[in-house]
Amino acid sequence: MNNTLALLGLLGREPSYGYDLKHSYDRYFGVQKPLAFGQVYSTLARMFRDELIMALGEESGGGPDRKKYEITLAGRDKVRQWLFTADVPSETMQSELFAKTVIALLLDDDADRLLDVQRAEHMARMRELTRLKRDGDLLQVLLCDHGLFHIEADLRWIELTSARLTQLKKELQSA
């Protein structure tokens, strides 16, 4: 996910301080991996430099001065362009699991065991996401569903590949 554009999009809702922006980001997108404050402020500095946002002013307090930021028209255009540019589904067809499977076969190692280990890891993650869905709000449920559907696709691939390992090994050895 492009953190810069997500932060810029959040600023499109209303002007915000970096501290508040970080917490909004974490609420919507950082459930499992919150942004660091340093990352937020360095991103704000780049967006300010690129004239995607502007500072509305500073407030003095007990700590460093707080700056409130607002999105510019150029920033709104950038967010809109990002929103309506389709993401390429899986830019590369190769994954770590695919590479491990091929290497295991090339090394005459136990590719069945590799796929069993990965299947077990996928199933554990599915159980975890299913538990998270039970107590989550709609945002959490949709995020978990996204992960679950990807895991289901991986599990289908693991099953299909397991059934074809002997044939794949023969093709790899004859190449």
Residue 116: which H helix or E strand, with range? helix 111-135
Over its C-alpha atoms, the chain yields an Rg (Å, rounded) of 23
Q: Which residues contact 38 (CB under 8 A, 6 or more apart)?
A: none
Give 1-36 pLDDT, tens digit per residue.
788 999 999 999 999 999 999 999 998 888 778 899
- Encoded tokens for 146: 């996204």
Q: Cα separation of 100 and 114, whole Å? A: 8
| Residue 2 DSSP class | -
* pLDDT of the residue at 89: 74
Q: Cα separation of 166 and 113, whole Å? A: 14
Give 133-157 pLDDT, tens digit per residue.
998 899 999 999 999 999 999 999 9
Contact criterion met (CB below 8 Å) for 35 and 25? yes
pTM of the model: 0.71
Give 67-119 pLDDT, tens digit per residue.
899 999 999 999 999 998 887 776 666 688 998 999 999 889 999 999 999 99
Cα pseudo-dihedral 77, 80, 82, 86, rounded to 10: -140
Question: What's the pLDDT band for 42 if we cut at 50, 70, 90?
Answer: very high
Which amino acid, 148? Answer: L
